Structure 1
Amino acid sequence: MSSHGLLLIVALCWITIAAAVGIHASGRGRSGFVWGLVTFLLGVFGVVVYLLALLLTDDPEDGADGDDAPDRFRRCPACATRHDGTPNFCAECGEPLDEGNDVVDARLLRSGSRGYCSNCKTQVALDADGCPDCGAAF
């Protein structure tokens, strides 16, 4: 095999790995283009940097500890006061509360100029107070 053929095979493998990293990053809410470009420019070192970034930035509260149940709180429909536990009445205004007032406690995940709900991964506005899909509060 000529040196040009070997160089072509290495280049195709390098591009394929960079594309795979970009696709994986995009699926995890990160910038696929940036991570693909970093991997392409840095080669194997770029893959190592990406894997380290995954390990260091993945939040153990997102289900990695084996507890997939989201945290909940009870919100008063009248005054929007947040109550931990399951009170039957709002401590601020006295409004009756029940299971229908339970809300999932989530976070707004930011990825570049996009925002995502940490509960259902739906794309939301960066200034949103809650998720329109699952009803989680940020």
Structure 2
Amino acid sequence: MIIVLWLVFAIFVGIYANSKGRSGFGYFLLSLLLSPLIGFIIALVVSPIDENVEVKELASGRMKKCPKCAELVKREALLCKHCHSDLSECGDSYQDDLKKTETFYDPRFPKRNCPNCGEVIKKGRVYCFHCKTIQDSVNN
């Protein structure tokens, strides 16, 4: 029974470390060899990896990158807080790039014909791969 609990807690430590952008398997092994408590304390103390946090913030749509200094700013910002450049004409280029990828999926979009070129767009796709237009709404 103790071995099963040890293994389960080690798995939870690995999952927690993975959510912070750290190696889940590495923390699982650390917890398995030393102790799940020690592994959890170490995972709790280390900071999350910034690159993974940045990708999550951009993908969520809450933040965008300044085109001048490449720092994250709020999506609604009109002026970059880092370099003070004007962001009023800056689009959400990361969001547009994300929508163009094969993996972007939104279940609200039905199978339909592209309004620009007439090609069939598969269910869930936001981007027409034939004419390279982004479908902004479900009704397009």
TM-score of the two chains, using structure 1 as the length reference = 0.40
TM-score of the two chains, using structure 2 as the length reference = 0.40
Higher relative contact order (CA 8 A, sep 6+): 1
